[in-house]
Amino acid sequence: MDAQTVRSVRLAPLYAAGFTTAFGAHSVAAGLGVETGAGLEAGDVGATLVGFGVALAVYDLAEVILKPVFGALSDRVGVKPMIVAGLVGFAAVSLVGTVWTSALAVLVIRFGQGACASAFSPASSAAVSRLAGPGSAAGYFGKYGSWKTLGYALGPLIGAGLMTVGGMRWLFAALALVALGAAVWTTVAMPDVPVLPRRPSTLGQAVRQLVERPFVAATLALAATTGSLTVGVGFLPLLAARDNLPTWVAMALVTVIAIASALTQRTVGRLADERRTTVRTGVVVGLVITGLGLATPALGHPVALVVAALLLGVGIGTVTPLGFAHLSATSPPEHIGRTMGNAEVGRELGDSAGPFGVGALAAVLSPPGALVAAGAVLLAFAAVDFRLLRTGPP
Cα–Cα distance for residue pair 105/173, rounded to 1 Å? 15
Dihedral of alpha carbons 203, 204, 210, 215, sign: negative
Confidence (pLDDT) at 100: 84
Is residue 243 pLDDT above 60, yes or no? yes
What's the per-residue H, E or C state across 120-157?
HHHHHHHHHHHHHCCCCHHHHHHHHHHHHHHHHHHHHH
- Angle at Cα 77 formed by Cα 74 and Cα 80, nearest 5°? 70
* CA 3/CA 216 separation, integer angstroms: 34
Q: Is 359 exposed, middle or buried (0-12, 13-18, 19+ CB in 10 A)?
A: middle
Asked whether the predicted pLDDT for residue 41 surpasses 80, the reply is no
Q: What is the pLDDT of residue 46?
A: 44
pLDDT of residue 26: 72
**Any idea which of 97-101, 125-129, 173-177, 338-342 has the lowest mean pLDDT?**
97-101
Predicted local distance difference test score (pLDDT) of residue 50? 57
pLDDT tens readout for residues 137-191: 899 999 998 898 888 777 777 877 787 788 888 989 999 999 999 999 999 999 9
Mean pLDDT along residues 51-73 = 81
Q: Which residue has the higher pLDDT, 230 or 281?
A: 281
Q: Which of these ranges, 240-249, 337-346, 371-380, has the smallest mean pLDDT? A: 240-249
Q: For residue 162, give the nearest of 71, 27, 60, 40 by alpha carbon.
A: 27
The share of the chain scoring above pLDDT 90, in percent, equals 50
**Domain 202-394: assigned CATH number:** 1.20.1250.20
Asked if pLDDT for residue 49 goes beyond 70, the answer is no
In terms of pLDDT, which residue wins out, 210 or 274?
Answer: 274
Give yes or no on whether 1-188 and 202-394 have one common fold: yes
Q: What is the pLDDT of residue 87?
A: 96
Phi-psi region of 351 (alpha: psi -120 to 50; beta: other; left: phi over 0): alpha
202 pLDDT band, cuts 50/70/90, is low
Q: Which candidate, 284, 288, 309, places its Cα nearest to that of 297?
A: 309
* 112 pLDDT higher than 90: yes
Tell me, what's the pLDDT at 307?
Answer: 97
The average confidence (pLDDT) of the chain is 86
The model's pLDDT over 9-26, given as tens digits with 9 standing for 90+, comes to 788 999 999 999 888 877
The predicted pLDDT at position 279 comes to: 94
Q: What share of the chain is helix, strand, coil (3-state, %, to 5)?
A: 85, 0, 15
Confidence of residue 2 (pLDDT cuts 50, 70, 90): low
CATH topology for the 1-188 domain: Growth Hormone; Chain: A; (1.20.1250)
Q: Say what the pLDDT of residue 106 is.
A: 83
- What's the distance, CA 138 to chain centroid? 16
Q: Quickly state the pLDDT bin for 44 (edges 50, 70, 90).
A: very low
Do the beta carbons of residue 344 and residue 325 sit within 8 Å?
A: no
What value does the mean pLDDT take over residues 125-136?
88
Average pLDDT over residues 73-92: 95
Query: What pTM was estimated for this model as a whole?
Result: 0.86
Nearest-5° Cα angle at 144, 375 to 339 = 75
Q: Higher model confidence: residue 127 or residue 60?
A: 127
Res 228 pLDDT > 60: yes
Domain parsing of the chain, residue ranges: 1-188, 202-394
Q: pLDDT band at 45, cuts 50/70/90?
A: very low
Q: State the CB neighbour count (10 A cutoff) for residue 148.
A: 26
Pair 133, 95: CB distance under 8 Å = no
| Residue 71, pLDDT score | 93
